[in-house]
Amino acid sequence: MNLKLTEEQEATLNEITTFNLSTRYDDYKRAFYNKSTDEYTEEQINKIKELKAWLEIMLKMYIML
């Protein structure tokens, strides 16, 4: 399967990847904690849900091929 991501989807995946780094290293943890407002968190959750829904659609389309 060759997925074509939009720039926004790529940016979302890049941001999600930083979550993993943020939990491993103290300096990153502190910076991540400081930017993790309720608004930021809600925005990221919504983006992740949208990306998940898109991936599920792509997977269903691939299976149907």
30-60 pLDDT, tens digit per residue, is: 888 888 899 999 999 999 999 999 999 999 9
What is the tens place of the pLDDT at every residue in 22-37? 667 788 888 888 888 9
Answer yes or no: are the C-beta atoms of 22 and 32 closer than 8 Å.
Answer: yes
Q: Rounded distance, CA 52 to CA 30, Å?
A: 28
The yes-or-no verdict on residue 9 having pLDDT over 70 is yes
pTM greater than the 0.85 cutoff: no
State how far the Cα of 55 lies from the Cα of 26, in Å rounded to an integer. Answer: 32
Please report, as a single letter, which amino acid is at residue 35. K
Distance, CA of 30 to CA of 39 (rounded, Å): 18
5, pLDDT greater than 80: yes
